[in-house]
Each structure stands twice: as C-alpha cells, then as structure tokens.
Amino acid sequence: RYKIIFSVPDLSEQYAPLLGLSVSEVGGALELIRAQAVNRGKGNQTFRETNVASLELLLPRDSKKTKLDVCAQEVVDSAEQRLDEQGVRNHSKMMVLRVSDSEQQQEQEEERKNNQNQSLQRTQKGFQILSERAEDLDSQPFLEIALIVATLVSQALILAMGFHEKGRSLMKRRQFDDALCHLLQADQQFSKCGSTLLGSVDNFAVLQLDIVWCYRALEALSCLDDGRARLQRAEQSFVQCYGEQQQRLRMIKGSTGREEVLFLRLYLLQSLLAYIDGNDAQARQQLSKVRALQELSPDTEKMEQLMTLGFTEREARLGLRACEGDVQEAALHISKQETGERETDGDVQAAAQLLLENQGELPPDLSQDSGSSGPGRQEPVPSSSTTTSSSSTSSSSTNSPEDEAAVSEVLGDISRHEEDYLDLTLEEESELIVTLQSYLSRSTQTV
C-alpha cells in the first residue's frame, strides 16, 4: 500500500490561487491545522493511556491569567456529577464566561445611571437659566440666538443646542454612552422647534450623524432601524439646508470643502449599515462615495507649512479643506476670514446667515445684528468677558450657587470655535474605512 504525502508548501501553492489568498496566508492556516492535528493525536494517546481528557477552553478577550486555586465545587455547576456525565468529552470545546457579582454589577449600573441623570439635569438646568437670561433684554444674555423665534421655541432651541454641545464634548472624551443620553435629549428638544427652523440650519442633521456615530461606537445592534431612519433624516435635512447640489452653501461660503466631512461621515455610516444588512452592493456604492472624499484627510506636510505661518491646527485643517488642499489659497482664505471678522465684528456671519435663509437675497427690513454664528447653522456662543461679568453681577442675587455652578459647567462645554463641528481629524473614520474595505474584499473573494 502506497502513502501519498503532501508538504505544506506544496499544498499552499496549490490552493492559494483557488482561494484568492497569498501563499503565506494559506501556509499559515495549513500549519495551524497540522499543529492542531498533532496535538489532538497526542491528546488521544494520553486519554487511552491515562484516562486524562484534553479540553479546549475559549476565554473572553479581556481575560487575564490566574491561578486555579479554588475548590472544584466553586467552578463546577454540578459537582456531584462527573464531567463525562455532564456531556463533556475528550477534546470538547468549552466557553469560559466571567460572571460578575450580581450585586456589585447592579450597584455599578445604578451608579452609572444616576451619574447620567444628574448630568442631564445639570445640563438642562444650566441652559434653562441661560434661556431665561436671553429673554431679558435689560440684562446681557450669555447666549446669542441666531433667529428671532417665539419664546417657547427659543427655549427649546437653547436646550437642544446645549444638550448637543454637551454630547459632543463627551464624544471627544470617547464617553459614548453618556454622550448618547445627552444627544437623545437634544433630539427631543429639536422636535419642539418646528420643521421650518430645522430646515434652515444644519444642526439637526449633524445631531442625527452624531447619534448614529455613538450607536456605531457602542455596537448597538438593537438600534439599527433607528440608525437608518436617522441617516435618512440627516440626508434630507442637508438637502433642505444646503440645496440639492449644495448650491446654497456654495453661494454663501464660496466652497463646500469644510462641510464635505459631514457627507463623508454620512456615506460611511450608510455603507456600514448596508454591510450589516447584508447588502454588499449598496455598501460598496456608498463606500466609493467616501473614497472620493478621502482627500479631506489633512496632509501632514501641508498642515505643518500653514502652522509655521502662525495658523492654528484647526485653521490649517479647515483652510485646506475649503481650498481643496492648496496651501497658498488656504493661507489667503484664513487671513481674509480673520480680517473680515475683525473688521465687521461678526456682521459678516450674520449677513451670511440671512442670505442663506432667503435664497441669496438680503431682506432690507432685517437688522444686521441677528446674532448668527455661521451659514446654515446656529451656535450657542459665550458672550464676551464684559458681557459675562455684567450678567453674572445682575443675576447673582436671584440665582443660587448651585445654579451658577450649573451655568459654568454648561458654558465650559460650549465650543469656542463656530466650526468646531466641522473640525474632524477623520482618524476614526479612516480606521472604519479600512475595516469596511477589508470586510467587503473578503465577501468578494468568497462569492
């Protein structure tokens, strides 16, 4: 009787083209199979000779090595029965789960929820105080509201923007669970503002993206349907605010480079959800749109050139995106922007907002001090130090120290830059792009 023996290298070269993988990948897999077969054979021999079985334990990812220095009764559910009587056989695979103490786990969960609720209450209290001060024309407000709206709506708008700012602040610290609670509260407040207001600013669309981004970070598969609906609302809101081909945005700002990062994140999330749904074709289609926008990722060398001219990292990044990566144009763009804001004391921003809301026409009956913070967006803006001091003095007699602490906390979460929501480094997005490309390429090879 003849025995045919194939070597691992020969098998690797034979099957690599069939599997669409490299020879080294196939060789590594075959070597792993060979080693497992050898170990299994040794285990069978040991079992025949000594009746000592071999078991394969599947441990959690975060498991740590520890000594098994406890009694068997503490780790076996049915200590009175032998393992083979419980269905365990030689070479059985057993999953090991770490079970936390139920009481301790419950206490930790309650503490987490309490902290979230307290944070939500402080945020709401702080911005409610600010909304009341904003209505009092005799005292200087802490916040400027971009549109003059009804009292009830303006309060809801401040709370919506406030919860959104708090949520974004927590997202930057990668506290996605806490961030999501605040973002969902912002969504509730925005629902009180009316479709007309939401259709004229991009805040609502950006909020939907932030919520779904938190779903992604938390791997909240139970929220897939809600995520799809939110992405659809975000896309519709962008069309209302920017125009079908972003013509309104281009008319006001002259370019769409900075806002393109929002569409990059939108398409990327749409691609991810399509892949999870098993719709690889749709996932690839949306991912191709993402790749078309990958030039938005900042070029390190160009960033350094602008920063050596005295511009900040944020200014350099946004300037390059606005000017499609042209360093000279970006430097000129940033300089003009700084000069215009300094000379007009913010009126350029107000005029831009009015143009956007009126299809490029400036209504003569509207004042120039509408307090906008940028085209197509409303932003909670801390007032100047003089204003803050004046308002604090006038309100100190009516607000308790706890109220002032709540106000100080929420003001600390408000971004000091009006385009902070556009200043994405795209590091997380780049990682997700690579992961999706890997998943989709594997599915192509297996078809």
Q: Output the pLDDT for position 373.
A: 39
Closest CA to 164 of 208, 224, 229, 114: 208
pLDDT in tens, 283-305: 999 999 888 777 777 778 888 88
- What are the backbone dihedrals phi and psi of residue 64, each rounded to the nearest 5 degrees, phi first? -120, 150
Of 42-51, 65-74, 291-300, 384-393, the poorest mean pLDDT is in 384-393
Assign 212 a pLDDT band (cuts: 50, 70, 90): very high
Q: Which amino acid is at 47?
A: F
Percentage, residues of the chain above pLDDT 70: 67
What whole-number distance in Å separates Cα of residue 96 and Cα of residue 433? 33
pLDDT exceeds cutoff 70 at 430: yes
Euclidean distance between the first and final Cα of the chain, in Å?
40
pLDDT > 50? residue 369: no
Q: Is the pLDDT of residue 124 over 50?
A: yes
Count of beta carbons in the 10 Å neighbourhood of residue 218: 13
Least confident of 188-202, 246-260, 431-445: 246-260
- pLDDT of 218 over the 90 cut: yes
> What DSSP assignment string belongs to 134-196?
HH-TTS--SS--SS---HHHHHHHHHHHHHHHHHHHHHHTT-HHHHHHHHHHHHHHHTTS-HH
Residue with the larger pLDDT of the pair 111 and 208: 208
pLDDT score at 231: 96
* Spatial separation of the C-alpha atoms in residues 364 and 115, rounded to whole Å: 49
Whether residue 167 is predicted with pLDDT greater than 80 in this model: the reply is: yes
pTM to 2 decimal places: 0.60
Question: How far, in Å, CA of 376 to CA of 258, rounded?
Answer: 13
What is the rounded distance in angstroms from the CA atom of residue 315 to the CA atom of residue 302? 12
Q: Region 208-219: what's the mean pLDDT?
A: 94
* Residue ranges covered by each domain of the chain: 1-50, 112-241+378-425
| Least confident among 186-195, 247-256, 283-292, 416-425 | 247-256
Distance CA 401, CA 410 (A): 14
* β partners of residue 272: none
Distance CA 286, CA 432 (A): 13
- pLDDT for 64: 61
Tell me the average pLDDT of the chain.
74
pLDDT score of 70: 54
On the question of pLDDT at 142 being above 60, the answer is no
| β-sheet bridge partners, residue 57 | 94
Residue 389 amino acid letter? S
Tell me the pLDDT band of 446, cut-offs 50, 70 and 90: low
